[in-house]
Structure 1
Amino acid sequence: MSEPKPSSTSSGQLWSYWRGLGGWNFYFLLKFALLWFGYLNFHALSNLVFLAWLLFPIPSLRWHRVRHWISLPMGFALFWHDTWLPGLTSMLSQGSQMAGFSAAYLLDLVNRFINWQMIGAAFVMLVIYLFIAQWIRVTVIVTLLLLWINLVNIAGPAVSLLPGKSATPEVVLNNQPPASKDAAQPNTLDQSAPPTSANLTAYLNRFYEQEKQRVTHFPDTLPADSAPFDVLVINICSLAWSDVDAVNLRDHPLWKHFDILFNNYNSATAYSGPAGIRLLRASCGQTSHHDLYQPVDNQCYLFDNLAKLGFKQQLMMDHTGEFGGYLDELRKVGNMQAPLMSQADIDPELTSFDGSSVFNDAQLMQRWLDDRQKSSDARSATFYNLIPLHDGTRELGSTKVAAYQPRAKVLFDQLDNFLTNLDKSGRRVMVVVVPEHGAAVEGDKMQMSGLRDIPSPGITHVPVGIKFAGMKAPHQNQPLSVEAPVSLLAISDLISRVVDGQVFNAANVNMSVLTENLPQTPVVSENDNAVVMMYQGKPWIRLNGGDWVAYPQ
């Protein structure tokens, strides 16, 4: 587009030097397209200010060109700010961990990050823009569109401009019956206020205040007729219901082994360290991510509560625990001081994303069972963390990331065989399978596959199964499905209800009665810089302490 020359009568007037946006038109048109399809967390006013900066007339052509060069990093930063990609603070905090990634895994992440279909669409848009710009003043159209977006956005977040019947469609975690005993304890937090940013923040604050009052009360001592048994908490990294469905393993025989299945359990975070700490502190209500790293009362530590009742603490992992300081966090923040169970003579099964070994879980679980059969300790409580499903894991001797489905199938088979052997052994064990978070096998509009910077419902909605091996009572053909929204406190509460071991001696066990009125927890999930919560049946997200926006579907 040629630059208009000011007339001699107006050459001294600033307003005669309007030059248009030029190539920046394509920048804004690209953003409009991404916004329309729900791929941007668009900041309307910031973009309008940037457009005004680009349009403001400057008499000197030289300084006009200098402004374009200065605007390039500004435009890039604003574009990044408008995406759902991790912020600078998050990337810096994860930088040391990324340095531990193997070169092959980093290359795989880059390949996933590049969306060739979007690049192709952007090229087509560029050609169309260059073609129509010969006859149409695109700057006028872009300016009017951005003004319109700002006007509409005054009443709500820009994401409401997305096409469809609703900006935030209902989220269905699992099919829920109309009513059940599991829903007898309603959510006491009021959600009737309109979902404005101020109301959502107030709701979140009320949630955390309420959670501070909640605690599981374990008995001071066990009764004389209590029956000894073991508690085995299997903490699986990277397994959510969305992952199970993505690889078609919902019908695997593993699920039939459980006596109780929590269908609407929220892990409350999307990263391993915080997930482990939250589980070890499950005896108190859910805390914010910041408070997770602050001192708490000893009554919050689930395994300490069990230790006071004679359960010997044990720690087992199928990895070293060195990456990201995971083991150190468990010890310093989660108060897990038990020595790590020996991995000697256990075969490596996979190679982790950082090049370290992932040991064979079937052999580890068998070692645990053999050790318990020989041990003189009547009771034990074991925290077992396993990572074969973590993103970037490779087959031995390979540099290529292994497909998720075969790894999940192998792990499910191993767990299925272990639970079968546990039944055959006759040992009394309460097995709690509770994943840390999902793997994000299928990404969404906010995050690519494998990225977990945002704790979306698809990542934190994880399958939790409870099995009572060695019961005298017959097991049901199907596990009892608990449909109420629960989280970590429900696990602690359930363990406290059976800590005397009588569930193993009873001739009949009514699982519905056992799980009646378990503490429910509204769905709130938090990483360092992102909070996602359900409000009025729909997910909302806040990044870096900013405004709340509807989670794009």
Structure 2
Amino acid sequence: MNDVNAPDAHSPSRWSHWRGLGGWNFYFLLKFALLWFGYLNFHALTNLVFLAWLIFPLPSLRLHRLRQLISLPIGFALLWHDTWLPGWESLLSQGNQLAGFSPNYLLDLLNRFINWQMVGAMFVMLVIYLFVSQWIRITVLVSLLLLWLNIVNLAGPAFSLLPGSSTTPPVVLKTSTPAGAVPTALDDTAPPTSANLTAWLNRFYEHERQRNTHFPTTLPADSQPFDILVINVCSLAWSDIDYAQLRSHPLWKHFDILLNNFNGATGYSGPAGIRLLRASCGQTSHSDLYKPTQESCYLFDNLAKLGFKEQLMMDHTGVFGNYLQELRDFGDIQAPLMSQAGISPELTSFDGSPVFNDGQLMQRWLDDRLKSSEPRTATFYNLIPLHDGTRERGSTQTAPWTPRAQVLFDQLDTFLNNLEKSGRRVMVLVVPEHGAALKGDKMQMSGLRDIPSPDITHVPVGIKFVGMKAPHQEQALAVETPTSLLAISELVSRVVDGQVFNAPNINMSVLTQNLPQTPVVSENDNAVVIMYQGKPWIRLNGGDWVPYPN
């Protein structure tokens, strides 16, 4: 008697229904090409699982077609995951801000996002693939190459398929420090595995929680009144200055001190403003910026307790991204915004709002100080004419960055000259938020700052003492050790009694001696970049650490 459950000897085996990858071969070949040139954060095992899902034999042609349909969104999501593009969480969190962009700015970003040379190369690859696939089983080659990549990846979570190894980008912060300057807990001699890099970052934040600036409780009787003006410039990094060839501008000759290795620690304006206003404590993680902190962390609160009247000035409305409210809520600066009435709109921001003339605003600040009887003020001044997408009045096209920077530098130069002539005693600190990302790199296009790369966070910080009795040095004292926002607070605390303006001689080397040094750690919502063993490493969306591609 025949067994009814026995397989039919004439029916094909389930394992004979191998159909190959078909068009998915080009999908993987395209990824290999992008990986070769350093444009992917490739997840080898995930891609291997996806390949196995695509070629697993299915006897039913209907099931095979259904799998193809299901695979389309999966393949797109995996390709996005393999790129350096912002994660879905970041896009969702930035959704309201994207809605505030003007249509012309969105079109400009879209045009920059499309690399037409790369589109042309993809077309050539497609033609070659269609031609070669007539004679060669591409599925076998793709499968073997992906298997090989997984074997290579067993050595660690990060690898490079590039012809040469990843190197440090051309503009980086120096990491050499004097003996004993960096705590033993932050030693970076361990191999750069994901576990070691994560442990190092955790130790960094633990160490930073213990650091703060000590301000005096009261000023001495012989203290000298003066003003503090913090000029917080959006979209200005050393890489941008070099790109625009503006290092020789007269502006940089004004300063007494230049912090040449200063890390702004973020790529966005809101977090940058909060970090600066909380500069009196060590560096925190991005998420901790939006949590309560000690009262002693607020730089302007510390100055207010010593008799400095808080002032707030901007060349914009502060509405976009809820910027002004974030400064009040998380930076604890409650001073009313200085009036912009009568100030000419100079540019139009990326969201269509006016950007007021900074030369006029700075002159208004000086005129007010000359008229006021207030002995001490501390002013936070945020300005955005260099922000990406800013355009000339009446124009729909983004204005070139270099002419805008030239105008702003000229305005700052004129203001500092007028300040010198006025006789006011003022400590001026130019502290940029972050860079403009003029160059872009393999991780993100020009203007995008979702990943706080060294080119974006390595910003020029200049300090000028106007109205000193002591003669100024011919050249600014360059501080080359790695510093960040705590160094700003420390410098302010050292001169808060105003004696620097009354002394017959000032040694800037002594004034800047033993400034707090901070290893390079920069963080946005879903991206962390650190300098470890002299090279930048990046972690996206809480995943593994990989070398920052050059």
Q: TM-score, normalised by structure 2?
A: 0.97
Superposition deviation, residue 184 in structure 1: 6.2
Q: 1:165-184 maps to which residues of 2 (within 5 A)?
A: 166-169=165-168, 173=172, 183=178
Kindly tell me: are residues 169 and 369 of structure 1, through their superposed partners in 2, closer, same or farther at Cα, counting changes over 3 Å? closer
Letter in 2 for 1:121: A
Unaligned segments of structure 1, at least 5 residues: 1-7
Q: What does the per-residue CA deviation read over 1:503-532, in whole Å, with 9 as the maximum and x for residues that have no partner?
A: 111111111110000000000001111110
Q: Secondary structure at the match of 2:147?
A: helix
Structure 2 partner of 1:442: 439
Q: What does the per-residue CA deviation read over 1:265-321, in whole Å, with 9 as the maximum and x for residues that have no partner?
A: 000111110100000000000000111111111100000000111100000000010
Q: Secondary structure at the match of 2:336?
A: coil
Structure 2 partner of 1:222: 219
Of 448, 466, 470, which residue of structure 1 is paired with 2:463? 466
Of 500, 519, 522, which residue of structure 2 is paired with 1:522? 519
Give yes or no for contact 1:455–1:527 (8 Å, CA) kept in 2: yes
Q: Is 2:57 the counterpart of 1:57? A: yes
Letter in 1 for 2:346: E
Give yes or no for contact 1:184–1:517 (8 Å, CA) kept in 2: no
Partner Cα separation in structure 2 for residue 234 and residue 534 of structure 1: 27
Give yes or no for contact 2:158–2:547 (8 Å, CA) kept in 1: no
Q: Secondary structure at the match of 1:161?
A: coil
Give yes or no for contact 1:170–1:537 (8 Å, CA) kept in 2: no
Superposition deviation, residue 14 in structure 1: 1.3
Superposition deviation, residue 70 in structure 1: 1.1
Letter in 1 for 2:360: Q
Partner Cα separation in structure 1 for residue 109 and residue 133 of structure 2: 37
For this pair of structures, how many residues does the alignment match? 541
Q: Is 2:251 the counterpart of 1:251? A: no
Structure 2 partner of 1:320: 317
Kindly tell me: are residues 170 and 344 of structure 1, through their superposed partners in 2, closer, same or farther at Cα, counting changes over 3 Å? closer
Give yes or no for contact 1:22–1:139 (8 Å, CA) kept in 2: yes
Kindly tell me: are residues 54 and 379 of structure 1, through their superposed partners in 2, closer, same or farther at Cα, counting changes over 3 Å? same
Q: Is 2:287 the counterpart of 1:300? A: no
Structure 2 partner of 1:396: 393
Structure 1 partner of 2:103: 103
Q: Is 2:36 the counterpart of 1:32? A: no
Q: Secondary structure at the match of 1:135?
A: coil
Letter in 1 for 2:282: G
Superposition deviation, residue 250 in structure 1: 1.0
Kindly tell me: are residues 158 and 136 of structure 1, through their superposed partners in 2, closer, same or farther at Cα, counting changes over 3 Å? farther
Structure 2 partner of 1:3: none
Of 421, 425, 430, which residue of structure 1 is paired with 2:427? 430
Q: Secondary structure at the match of 2:94?
A: helix
Superposition deviation, residue 60 in structure 1: 1.2
Partner Cα separation in structure 1 for residue 435 and residue 370 of structure 2: 33
Partner Cα separation in structure 1 for residue 520 and residue 461 of structure 2: 15
Q: Is 2:154 the counterpart of 1:154? A: yes
Of 262, 266, 285, which residue of structure 2 is paired with 1:288? 285
Q: Secondary structure at the match of 1:419?
A: helix
Partner Cα separation in structure 2 for residue 333 and residue 251 of structure 1: 37
Q: Is 2:355 the counterpart of 1:358? A: yes
Give yes or no for contact 1:445–1:552 (8 Å, CA) kept in 2: yes
Partner Cα separation in structure 2 for residue 380 and residue 277 of structure 1: 20
Kindly tell me: are residues 424 and 521 of structure 1, through their superposed partners in 2, closer, same or farther at Cα, counting changes over 3 Å? same
Partner Cα separation in structure 2 for residue 11 and residue 255 of structure 1: 83
Q: Is 2:139 the counterpart of 1:142? A: no
Structure 1 partner of 2:3: none
Give yes or no for contact 2:168–2:548 (8 Å, CA) kept in 1: no
Of 182, 186, 210, which residue of structure 2 is paired with 1:187? 182
Give yes or no for contact 2:173–2:458 (8 Å, CA) kept in 1: no
Q: What does the per-residue CA deviation read over 1:385-436, in whole Å, with 9 as the maximum and x for residues that have no partner?
A: 0000001001001111101000001000000111111111111100000000
Structure 2 partner of 1:204: 201
Structure 1 partner of 2:497: 500
Structure 1 partner of 2:5: none
Q: TM-score, normalised by structure 1?
A: 0.96
Unaligned segments of structure 2, at least 5 residues: 1-7
Q: Secondary structure at the match of 1:333?
A: helix
Give yes or no for contact 1:35–1:41 (8 Å, CA) kept in 2: yes
Partner Cα separation in structure 1 for residue 170 and residue 193 of structure 2: 19
Q: What does the per-residue CA deviation read over 1:337-367, in whole Å, with 9 as the maximum and x for residues that have no partner?
A: 0000000000000000000000000000000
Structure 2 partner of 1:5: none
Give yes or no for contact 2:157–2:193 (8 Å, CA) kept in 1: no
Partner Cα separation in structure 2 for residue 382 and residue 112 of structure 1: 37
Q: 1:334-413 maps to which residues of 2 (within 5 A)?
A: 334-413=331-410
Give yes or no for contact 1:10–1:16 (8 Å, CA) kept in 2: no
Partner Cα separation in structure 2 for residue 9 and residue 36 of structure 1: 48
Structure 2 partner of 1:14: 14
Kindly tell me: are residues 470 and 123 of structure 1, through their superposed partners in 2, closer, same or farther at Cα, counting changes over 3 Å? same
Give yes or no for contact 1:171–1:538 (8 Å, CA) kept in 2: no
Give yes or no for contact 1:264–1:486 (8 Å, CA) kept in 2: yes
Structure 1 partner of 2:73: 73
Structure 2 partner of 1:233: 230
Partner Cα separation in structure 1 for residue 31 and residue 466 of structure 2: 56
Partner Cα separation in structure 2 for residue 410 and residue 163 of structure 1: 43
Partner Cα separation in structure 1 for residue 367 and residue 71 of structure 2: 66
Q: Secondary structure at the match of 2:41?
A: coil
Letter in 2 for 1:167: S
Kindly tell me: are residues 172 and 391 of structure 1, through their superposed partners in 2, closer, same or farther at Cα, counting changes over 3 Å? closer
CA-atom RMSD, angstroms? 1.4
Superposition deviation, residue 167 in structure 1: 2.9
Letter in 1 for 2:414: N
Letter in 2 for 1:131: F
Superposition deviation, residue 172 in structure 1: 5.1
